[in-house]
Each structure stands twice: as structure tokens, then as C-alpha cells.
Amino acid sequence: MGADIVAIAAISPLGEGEAAWSVGELDAPARETIVHDAALAAEGLRKPYAARAIFTADPSIDRATDLLLQTFDRLPLELPAGARLGVALGSSSGGMSSAEKLFDRLREGAEVEPALADAATYHAPFRALVDRLRARDVVITRASHVLTACSASTIALGLGTHWLDEGECDLVLAGGYDALTTFVAAGFEALGATTAAPPPRPFRLERDGMSLGEGAALFVLQRPDAGKRALARIDGFGIAGDAVHLTAPDREGGGLARSALAAMSMAGIGPDDVDLVSLHGTSTPFNDPMEAKAISRVLGSRAEVVPVHAAKASIGHTLGAAGALETALLVDALRRGIVPATAGSGELDPAASTTGRTQNERTSSLRRALKLSSAFGGANAALVVSAATTSPNRRPSAPTNARAVVRELAAVEISSVVDLDVVAKVSGVPRERLARMDGGSHLALGVVGTLAAEVGRERLRGAGIVLGSVMATIDLNALYFSTIRTRGAAFAEGRKFAYTTPNAAAGECAIAFGLTGPNVCVGSGLAVADEAREVAGDLLRSGLAKTVVVVVVDAVGPVARRVADLGRWDVKFGGRAMLLTVD
């Protein structure tokens, strides 16, 4: 396993170009970009603090699409015509700024143009970039849009590296993006996850949450034997689910630790080879102790001495872009030999102790770093990133088999209309809890429950899950946003917001059926069924999973139906599930 990082482009609260992914100057403290945000304050948020990306936005197009395309235009590498290209991007909220406009139009009973409906989908920014690439005569052999919330772009980088290992691509464009919106900011505030006094203070006793950010980062990945000069290298990828809670992590850090250990195994390294850890670091009461426990499980006694970095304290939580931007900062740290500082001060929490730095320090022993990411739905991922000058480790690593045949063990299908009593029976989830969920979660639990009845519930335990959807949670999103418009952003409903993330259904299935393997949600458009099955195959052939449940769901609702009709899309509403393995 391995991919050379040969180019990076980014836009972040730190700036544009290389400034967007620079850890700063030697002996300097961490830069702080989180400020009082006038736009969020005007919406009525009680904690209106955020870090905006520094770029000249085009108000005529969706902000996330604009961020992504402008980042692509800054790539310091020409993609050759005829090259076999893979595209793997991660996002948490896709075209949400356009969705806000769409929901306002629908509430007002105003006419909705097809272009606005198209831009309001989760997959619109991804498709815009793919269209830009196709105009350059590149041949796209693999494409995936990962919607696994805050671990999405870490997963995208891992998938892209695997595609190169399997020889499916000559180059991979991988990364992530997300734009700041009232929709998302109000939801995180409603969940009590945001700070009232930035900067956030990760792993400190007085921490009270995070602030949101926005940005985009794109990596060009190439096989190490291609001969192009590398900035750094991705040597390992791991992914595992918690199967514990939709919005809170496993308190013991089990899924995150398994992800890190899988990445290290794939890279052929042990605890003594890790020189720096890039944390998820949300400064929340549950995340920080969990992450400290996960690091201890992975590094053992070295957890007390290996330095850590929590980038979100400086640039905010950039959601789907977080993994990619924080990995880019790791690349800068590795190539310059700098242990980066973490913003925030105060007494360290004994239950979440780490070895962070208050200013950037020079080191001569920075060879390999571990990137950790977590997300709603208990979706964890990790990467091993190595300095370009570090020789690949020659210890045996986890096996991969590009020629392994993916085999379908069973498949089931249900209609778009589900009876909650039936879903409760087949899933084991109480009906009163089901009533709080979105239609996609109902369909997913119903179809996976039907699959479990066919193959035996124990057959699913420990499996991975890949969930795909075209329309995702758009109907629930409209209901949630209606509350913001009628009552104000300060009165957003946190319980509804939790189910507006597209991977909520995957998380609920993982909890109900003990799916502690890889947890992924994808959605690149109408070909999502093929996309989900292909990603499941990636996880199986890479050795990251032995069995994977593939679920494709689209819940029928007035907004989903309207958008599909305006786009003239043939969306298959209902649910399908299959259990896959490899021979």
C-alpha cells in the first residue's frame, strides 16, 4: 500500500496556495483564525464564531462548489490528457448553501428553477468538478463522493491510495470540501458542541466545544514507482465503526483505535515508528477523553511522549474538508521537520492528557505521522503519512488482493413505503426511537433487517457497511431548516439535525446490527448503486473488511420527488441491501 503525494492545492482560513496548509513559522504559536462571524450573528446564533476560508467568492454559484472549483484551479500540476484518473472527494454537506435557497423558495411557494434544484443536492459540487475534468480529456476510471460527515476526506484519501495499489488509475485526485452555512452552524450549536469563547481549548479542563470552519484541499496521488518528486507519502489506511451512538463516540475509543491499528498494519509499522499524531481534536467533553484512550491503546507507553496536533483549534472544524486539510498540514510539518503548535490554553484534563505544543518546534526525527478522524454515525478513519525521504517499512503488512472476486451472499429489496411496526420487529429498534429518525434510516433498517432474517443476524455482526443514496436526507433537511426560518437559528432542533447527515442511516444500521467494520456513506449521483458496491469491493480486497453490507436507499418525499422531477432523474425510491464477501 502506498501513494506519493505529488501536489496539493487548498483554500482555508489560513489563506490560499501553500499558505492554506502551512503550519507557520518556527518558534511561533499556533495561528488563530476563528473570529466573531457577523453573518451567523445576524441569523441569531448565540455562539457566532467561525473561521471563513480566505478567497474571492463568486456569489452567483453555490459556495461549496465555488470553493472546490477554485481549489482545483490552483493545483500546481497539469493533469495529462488521456491519463486514467480516479476522483475521490469527501464532503459533509455538499451544496447546502444552494439547498438553503431552495428550501426558502419552496416555503414561499415561489418558482424553482431546475438549476437551483440541481445545485442543492449533496452531489452537485462533486459533479461540477467531474465535468471540469472531463472537459480536459482525462479518462475517469474510478469516482466516489464520500458523505461520511467529518471523516469523509480521510476516507477519500485512503480509497484513492487503494485504487493506485490495484492499478485502476495512473493518478488520483483526492480530498475534501465544505462551506460554512447557517444550516450546519445552527445544528452544531443546538447539539451543544460549539464554544462560547474561542479559540477552542482541546484537551484542556476548560474546553467547551469547537468552532466551525470551511475550506477545501485537493491532493494529486501517484504510485511511488511513477518517478515524480513527492511531497510526502500515504503508507496506510484504516477504517472502523463504533456501532455505539449516532452523535457521541465510543467512550473507550474502540473504533478509532482499530482504524489506527489497521492503518499502521497496512504501513507495516509499530508504535515506535509514529513520530506525530494529528488528532480529530474537537474540544468536546466526549471526543477528547475518547481520543486520548484510543491513542493509548495504539501507542502504549509512547502515548506519553509522541507529540500531537489539533488543527481545529486554529482553523475551525472544516467538516468534510477536515481530514484533507489536516493531512495537508501534516505534509508541511513532515517536509519541514516541525512539530506544529496547537491553539488554546489552560490546564490539561488528566482524563484526556496529550503532549501538545504551545509553539512550533524543530525536530530531526519526524518521519511518520498518524492522522485520526471521527464522525457522526461512529465512522472512524486513519492514515499513516510519511515524509518523502522515509523509506517504506519492509515488515509484513495487511494483505491486499486486487484479483479477489467479490461474491454476493444474499440480496433483498423493499418498497419505498415502510411500516414502522415492521421495521421495529426486523431491526430490534423500538418504535418510539424509530419515530425520531428520517425516512432513509427507516428504509435502511428495514432492508438490513430483512437481510438479517435471510442470512442470520450473527452473520452480519462485525461486518462493514457502505450506504449509498441519490437524494440523501433532503426532505428532513427541508423540515429542519423550516424551523430555523420560523423560529430563528438559535432554536434549531438538534435531534433533527443529527439525522440530516447522509450517513445517519448507516450509523443506525451499525448500532442495530453490530456492524463494527468500515462505515462509509457515498453519493456521487444516479450511479450510486454501482458506486456503493465498488467501494465495498475496495474495502474487501484491501483486507479492511471480511464482509460488507451494501445498502442503497432513497426515501420518497415531496422535496426529493420535486428535485428529481426538475432534474428529470430516474431515482429508484425504496431500499436494497446485499451482503458481499471475497473469495
Question: Are the C-beta atoms of 45 and 33 separated by less than 8 Å?
Answer: no
For strand 574-582 and strand 406-414, is the pairing parallel, antiparallel, or unpaired?
antiparallel
Name residue 413's beta-bridge partners: 576
Could you tell me if residue 298 is inside a domain?
Answer: yes
Could you tell me if residue 477 is inside a domain?
Answer: yes
Residues 68 and 129 placed together within one structural domain of the fold:
yes
Pick the closest to residue 202 from 342, 321, 328 (CA basis). Answer: 342
Average pLDDT for residues 157-172, to the nearest whole number?
Answer: 95
For strand 232-241 and strand 3-12, is the pairing parallel, antiparallel, or unpaired?
antiparallel
Could you tell me if residue 396 is inside a domain?
Answer: no
For 560, the domain range is: 406-582
* pLDDT at residue 396, rounded to an integer: 44
Could you tell me if residue 296 is inside a domain?
Answer: yes
* pLDDT at residue 526, rounded to an integer: 94
C-alpha dihedral sign at 529, 535, 537, 540: negative
Name the domain count of the chain: 2
pLDDT tens profile 62-94: 999 999 999 999 998 887 878 899 999 999 999
Name residue 414's beta-bridge partners: 575
Q: Residue 213 corresponds to which cell in the numbers above?
A: 470552519
Question: Are the C-beta atoms of 53 and 325 separated by less than 8 Å?
Answer: no
pLDDT tens profile 389-438: 887 875 444 445 556 778 877 888 888 888 999 999 999 999 999 999 99
Pick the closest to residue 318 from 575, 4, 71 (CA basis). Answer: 71
Say whether the peptide bond before residue 29 is cis (omega within 30 degrees of 0): no
Could you tell me if residue 401 is inside a domain?
Answer: no
Q: How far apart are the first and last CA of the chain?
A: 20
The label of the residue with cell 472512524 reads 380
In degrees and rounded to multiples of 5, residue 90 shows phi and psi of: -120, 145
Identify the domain boundary among 387, 419, 453: 387
Average pLDDT for residues 21-27, to the nearest whole number?
Answer: 92
Q: Residue 516 corresponds to which cell in the numbers above?
A: 463494527
> Cα–Cα–Cα angle for 220, 226, 229, nearest 5°?
65
Residues 314 and 194 placed together within one structural domain of the fold:
yes
For strand 276-278 and strand 574-582, is the pairing parallel, antiparallel, or unpaired?
unpaired
Task: Kindly write down the DSSP assignment for every residue of 286-313, as one continuous string.
Answer: THHHHHHHHHHHHHGGGGGTS-EE-THH
pLDDT tens profile 283-312: 888 788 889 899 999 999 898 899 999 999
Q: Residue 97 corresponds to which cell in the numbers above?
A: 448553501
Average pLDDT for residues 301-324, to the nearest whole number?
Answer: 94
The label of the residue with cell 427541508 reads 478
Helices in 109-181 by DSSP H: which ranges? Answer: 114-119, 124-134, 152-165
Percentage of residues in the chain with pLDDT exceeding 70? Answer: 98
Calculate the alpha carbon distances from 295 to 147, 252, 255 in Å. 25, 10, 12
Give dist(CA 120, CA 441) in Å, integer: 21
Average pLDDT for residues 20-25, to the nearest whole number?
Answer: 95
* pLDDT at residue 417, rounded to an integer: 81
Tell me the average pLDDT of the chain: 92
Domain of 326, CATH number, reads 3.40.47.10
Could you tell me if residue 525 is inside a domain?
Answer: yes
**What residues are annotated to the active site?**
150, 280, 317
Residues 219 and 362 placed together within one structural domain of the fold:
yes
Residues 465 and 368 placed together within one structural domain of the fold:
no
For strand 276-278 and strand 308-309, is the pairing parallel, antiparallel, or unpaired?
parallel
* Confidence bin at 363 (pLDDT 50/70/90): confident
The label of the residue with cell 465498488 reads 534
Residues 114 and 248 placed together within one structural domain of the fold:
yes
In degrees and rounded to multiples of 5, residue 424 shows phi and psi of: -60, -40
Could you tell me if residue 306 is inside a domain?
Answer: yes
Identify the domain boundary among 387, 419, 447: 387
Q: At what angle do helices 287-299 and 254-267 cross, to 10 degrees?
A: 40
Residues 170 and 288 placed together within one structural domain of the fold:
yes
78/182: higher pLDDT = 182
Helices (H) and strands (E) in the chain, counts: 20, 21
285/209: higher pLDDT = 209
* Confidence bin at 54 (pLDDT 50/70/90): very high
Calculate the alpha carbon distances from 211 to 314, 315, 444, 482 in Å. 9, 8, 32, 24
Identify the domain boundary among 325, 352, 387: 387
**With left for phi above 0 and alpha for psi between -120 and 50, is residue 533 left, alpha or beta?**
alpha
Whether pLDDT at 361 is above 60 = yes
* pLDDT at residue 137, rounded to an integer: 80
Question: Are the C-beta atoms of 1 and 236 separated by less than 8 Å?
Answer: yes
Residues 371 and 417 placed together within one structural domain of the fold:
no
Average pLDDT for residues 364-393, to the nearest whole number?
Answer: 91
- Is 569 buried (19+), middle (13-18) or exposed (0-12) by CB count in 10 A? middle
* pLDDT at residue 402, rounded to an integer: 56
Residues 371 and 518 placed together within one structural domain of the fold:
no
Give dist(CA 352, CA 291) in Å, integer: 8
For strand 368-373 and strand 15-16, is the pairing parallel, antiparallel, or unpaired?
unpaired
Report which residue type is found at 273: D
Residues 412 and 368 placed together within one structural domain of the fold:
no
Q: Residue 165 corresponds to which cell in the numbers above?
A: 495499489
Calculate the alpha carbon distances from 239 to 133, 159, 517 in Å. 29, 10, 7
Q: At what angle do helices 96-108 and 558-567 cross, to 10 degrees?
A: 110
Residues 164 and 29 placed together within one structural domain of the fold:
yes
Whether pLDDT at 352 is above 80 = no
pLDDT tens profile 86-128: 999 999 999 999 999 999 999 999 999 999 999 999 999 999 9
* pLDDT at residue 384, rounded to an integer: 97
Task: Order the strands of the 49-51 sheet from edge to edge.
Answer: 35-36, 49-51, 212-213
In SS3 terms, 475-529 reads as HHHHHHHHHHHHHCHHHCCHHHHHCCCCCHHHHHHHHHHCCCCCEEEECCCCCHH
Q: At what angle do helices 504-513 and 439-455 cross, to 10 degrees?
A: 30
* Confidence bin at 378 (pLDDT 50/70/90): confident
* pLDDT at residue 397, rounded to an integer: 44
Could you tell me if residue 121 is inside a domain?
Answer: yes
DSSP-assigned letter for residue 408 = E
Residues 289 and 329 placed together within one structural domain of the fold:
yes
Q: Classify each residue of 307-336 as buried b or exposed e, where b means 16 or more C-beta atoms within 10 Å of its C-beta.
A: bbbbbbbbbbbbbbbbbbbbbbbbbbbbbb
Question: Are the C-beta atoms of 355 and 308 separated by less than 8 Å?
Answer: yes
* pLDDT at residue 84, rounded to an integer: 93
Residues 370 and 449 placed together within one structural domain of the fold:
no
520/413: higher pLDDT = 520
**pTM: predicted TM-score of the whole model, two decimal places:** 0.96
